[in-house]
Amino acid sequence: MHHPFMEGVAIRLVRRGIAVLRYQFPYMESGGRRPDRPNVATATVGAVKERAIALTDEAGPLAGLPVFMGGKSFGGRMTSQAAAEGRLSGIRGVVFLGFPLHPPGRPGTERAAHLADVPQPMLFLQGTRDVFAGLELLLPVVRGLDERAVLHLVDGADHGFHVLKRSGRDDSDVLDELSDEIAAWIGER
């Protein structure tokens, strides 16, 4: 949750009037390198959802705010799996920052099979150079989700949303683009 990318998106969303609650999976909290098993990760997402809903139910500055969830790469995929398992009732949508459709060099769509079971609207933010999601595979997956899914492509961005220098843009420009898209999408819900 302290990665510069995650901090950059969070700061920009707050500037756009969106409250942000960041969290870490247990493996990150303990300094591990190997991601948690899916059942541990989805349980973590579910627990965070409960906390977020509780914060918006309490009297205070967050009272009554709608709750959206999402994540970068593994975090986004585990959020969608939690939603598909029914753990995210009460949230208004799921945001993916670089959905990891497949491992690099091993194209496939198996990791997207559960997306059909996600009841909430979904926003996919994806770089056009992302080796974890070939566009020839991702585009039909998103189209297959009908009106529940929106895809925003970040031209020239890789999985970390870095762009080539020759693009004339930098990481800050891309973070602004991502945050603008997220804020606009949330505003429509």
138 burial via Cβ count (<10 Å: 0-12, 13-18, 19+): buried
Q: Domain holding 127: CATH number? A: 3.40.50.1820
Q: Which domain holds residue 81?
A: 4-187
Q: Return the pLDDT at 60.
A: 86
Full-model pTM: 0.95
Rounded distance between C-alpha atoms, residue 49 and residue 69, angstroms: 8
pLDDT tens, position by position, 56-103: 998 888 899 999 999 999 999 999 999 999 999 999 999 999 999 999
Radius of gyration of the chain (CA): 16
CB 45 within 8 Å of CB 79: yes
Count structural domains, the chain. Answer: 1
List the beta bridge partners of residue 183: none
List the beta bridge partners of residue 154: 127
Given a cut of 90, is residue 1 above it in pLDDT? Answer: no
Percent of the chain at pLDDT > 70 equals 100
